[in-house]
Amino acid sequence: MFESVSSANVACGFHAGDPSVIRSTCEKAAKAGVVIGAHVGYRDLAGFGRRFMDIDPMELADDVVYQIGALQALAATTGASVQYVKPHGGLYNAIVKHTAQARAVVDAVKSVDPNLPILGLPGSEVLRLAEEAGLRAVSEAFADRAYNPDGTLVSRSQPGAVLHDPAEVAEHVLRMATEQSVKTVDGSILKIRAESICVHGDSPGAVAMATAVKSALADADVSIGSFL
């Protein structure tokens, strides 16, 4: 994966990962020249952080601070540093519209380092609140996920929510990069502005998809680089 990406969202131990895995991942990312981001999530190892949790906002903020801090310390042991924050799974989807949890995430990031950008879905509450708080709000799109006509991601409980065919994923990303749009599940074309495009590393065939995307972008004379 590190051969095809410019940034890596590193799980901080709450939905996946442990200290040794985190350190090793940071070390490999640093050697590959890949930027490291804190992939913070709910405290939900059993559900891989993909379930919504009705958590108290203050507790959520503390959890986010804890996760960023853990990654910062482990990254530092490899000579690297954390450059941005990207919420994961259930938390990511919740803070598209859940104002209280979105504010908790923004407050947590700002309290740790107001220079850390936050990644989120275009038009989401978390990006709106991040901008209000003076943080850099980075909109992103997904290479391997299907979209609803309103710009939200199709729920993973629905068939076709996750894309697996490398050619289809590459075409999906090319449309995002060259036309600033995505084809939604009903066939309509939705305009979308994204500074970053995510390929899930845990999907079967993730490396093949990332490789196909990199090749397709190169063929279209689109360069790949960190948004930082």
Q: 191 - beta bridge partners?
A: 181
DSSP state letters, 20-63: HHHHHHHHHHHHHTPEEEEE---S-TTTTT-S-----HHHHHHH
**DSSP letter (8 states) at residue 8:** E
Burial 137-156 (b: 16+ CB within 10 A, else e): bbbbbbbbbbbeeebebbee
**Amino acid 202: pLDDT:** 86
Domain extent listing, the chain: 1-137, 142-222
pLDDT at 106: 98
Give the pLDDT of residue 84.
98
**Fold that domain 1-137 belongs to in CATH:** TIM Barrel (3.20.20)
Residue stretches of the chain with pLDDT short of 50: none
* Pairwise CA distance, residues 100 & 57, whole Å: 6
What pLDDT is stored for residue 226 in this prediction?
87
pLDDT digits (tens, 9 = 90+) for 133-171: 999 999 999 999 999 999 999 999 999 999 999 999 999
Q: What is the pLDDT of residues 112-126, one digit of tens each?
A: 999 999 999 999 999
